[in-house]
Amino acid sequence: MGTIEDRFRGALERTTRGDAQSAAELLRVVYDELRGLAAARLAVTPPGQTVQATELVHEAYIRLVGSADPGWAGRGHFFGAAARAIRNVMVDRYRAARAAKRGGDRRREEMDSHIVGDGGTDLDILDVDEALGAFAEVDPRAARVVELRFFAGLTGEETAEALGCSPETVKRDWAYAKRWLRDRLARDDGADSP
C-alpha cells in the first residue's frame, strides 16, 4: 500500500480525474492522518486546553500535499475530504469519551467535550453534527460551505474556489446557514421544541 503520503497522492489524483470510488479512499486517508495528528498534538496539551481543529487541517495539508500545488481541483478535493474527516474525528472522540464515562446520566458539562465557541455557551459537537446533517437535506451546498469554512477553516474565497462558485454565493450561503443552524440548535436546547 506504501506510505500514507503515497496513498494520499494516488487517491487525490484518481479523485481529481473523476473516480468516485477514490473519494472514499481519500477520505479514509485524510481521516487517519488527522486522527493521528490530533492524538499527537493532544498528548502534549495540558488538561483543559484545546487544540483548534482547523490548525490540524492545515498541518495535514502541509504534511500530505507539501509544497507541490495540486491545483484548484486538488485543493478542493483535499479540503472537502479534510473538513468531513475532522468533523468525524471530533464526533468519534466525543463518543469515545462519553462511552468511557460510567453511568450515562452525568451532566454534560462534566464530559470531555469538543467545544465550539458560541457567545457565552458551549455547543456540543454531537448537536452541531446532527444539525448539520439535517441542514444538508435542506441545502446541500450551504452545508458544504459550513463544513469547509467551519471545520476546515477555509476563508470565503478559498471556499468559493473549492466549491467552484462565486464568493458572493458563499457569503450568502454562510449567513443563511448560520441562522438556520442557530435556530435549530436553540430549539434543540429543549425550551420550546415542538
Least CB distance from residue 179 to other proteins, whole Å?
5
Question: Which of 75/114 has CB closer to other proteins?
Answer: 114
Strand partners of residue 122: 117
Rounded-to-integer distance, Cα 194 and Cα 65, Å: 47
Least CB distance from residue 178 to other proteins, whole Å?
4
Rounded-to-integer distance, Cα 194 and Cα 73, Å: 43
Least CB distance from residue 15 to other proteins, whole Å?
24
Question: Which of 24/115 has CB closer to other proteins?
Answer: 115
Give, in degrees to the nearest 5, the angle at Cα 104 between 101 and 106: 80
- CA-nearest of 134, 114, 122, 149 to 180 is 134
Question: Which of 17/107 has CB closer to other proteins?
Answer: 107
Question: Which of 7/149 has CB closer to other proteins?
Answer: 149
Q: Which residues bind other proteins (CB under 8 A)?
A: 38, 42-43, 45-54, 56, 86, 89-90, 93, 97, 100, 107, 109-122, 125, 128, 138-139, 146, 149-151, 172, 175-176, 178-183, 186, 189-192
Residue 47, judged by CB atoms within 10 A of its CB (0-12, 13-18, 19+), counts as exposed
Residues with Cβ within 8 Å of 135's Cβ and at least 6 positions away in sequence, in order, are 142, 143, 146, 177, 180, 181, 184
Task: Name the DSSP class of 57.
Answer: H
Least CB distance from residue 150 to other proteins, whole Å?
5
Question: Which of 13/139 has CB closer to other proteins?
Answer: 139
Least CB distance from residue 122 to other proteins, whole Å?
4
